[in-house]
């Protein structure tokens, strides 16, 4: 495990982005805003998991990102189907 300066800068920028999405999730007037914010956070998280796998230098850690990319899709589609009033 070797943490460069660039990795720290990347993690800081990603954290700032997650904070902005969290503020939108807290503020958003309707439920759709909150769903969009959480969907954006889940995409950012997939990129973050791959980046953390590169920082830790473990090949196995990429599986988690793959599973995550598949499963958050199912959650978003379930919420969208509910908002459309026909699950």
Of residues 56 through 75, those in contact with another protein by CB under 8 A are: 56-75
CB of 7 to another protein, least distance (A): 9
Angle at 22 between CA 19 and CA 23, to 5 degrees: 90
Residue 3 engages another protein in binding (rule: CB under 8 A): no
CB of 8 to another protein, least distance (A): 9
Of residues 23 through 62, those in contact with another protein by CB under 8 A are: 23-26, 29-54, 56-62
């Amino acid at each position: 495990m070797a943490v460069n300066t660039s990795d720290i800068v990347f993690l800081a920028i990603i954290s700032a982005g997650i904070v902005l999405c969290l503020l939108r999730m807290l503020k958003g007037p309707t439920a759709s805003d909150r769903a969009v914010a959480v969907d954006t956070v889940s995409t950012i998280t997939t990129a973050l998991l791959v980046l953390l796998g590169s920082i830790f230098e473990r090949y196995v850690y990429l599986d988690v990102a793959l599973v995550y990319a598949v499963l958050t899709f199912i959650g978003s589609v379930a919420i969208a189907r509910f908002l459309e009033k026909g699950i």
